Amino acid sequence: MIMLGLTGTLNYYLFNGSIDMRKGVYGLSDVVRHEMKQNPNNPNNVYIFMSKNRRIIKILHYERGFYVLYEKRPLMGKFKKPIYDDKTKSYQINWNDMVYLTESLVIIQISIPKAG
């Protein structure tokens, strides 16, 4: 299964901290480099950034000489956040977790109009 241009053979890292979601490719690359202590030019790694309210996810990946930035914003609800691993001090997640993270939403409120 290929989602977006990402596959199960890649390493996925969720940034553990507050992030300005207005940042683009170069701003997020700096966060990866300086705060996550990773190389954003590594094509084997994918970096995930979640807004504080968990309503926006940005996914940064470097492939074939280009940065690729995906953004997901649900119309309703918010994304679930994975559990932080104190031992590794990160949210390294696998492909199944990545799909679950980006495809599952927590619905906050549903309004159903009365019939009639």
**pLDDT tens-digit map of 60-107:** 999 988 999 998 887 877 777 777 767 656 666 777 767 766 665 444
Q: SS3 for 56?
A: coil
Q: Collect all residues with Cβ–Cβ distance below 8 Å to 82 and sequence separation of at least 6.
A: 14, 91, 93, 97, 101
Instruction: Label residue 114 by pLDDT band (50, 70, 90).
Output: low
- Per the CB < 8 A criterion, the answer to whether 97 and 84 are in contact is no
Residue 31 pLDDT > 90: yes
**pLDDT tens-digit map of 14-28:** 888 889 999 999 999
Structure tokens at 43: 């094509």
Residue 111 pLDDT > 60: no
- What is the rounded CA–CA span in Å between residue 13 and residue 1? 19
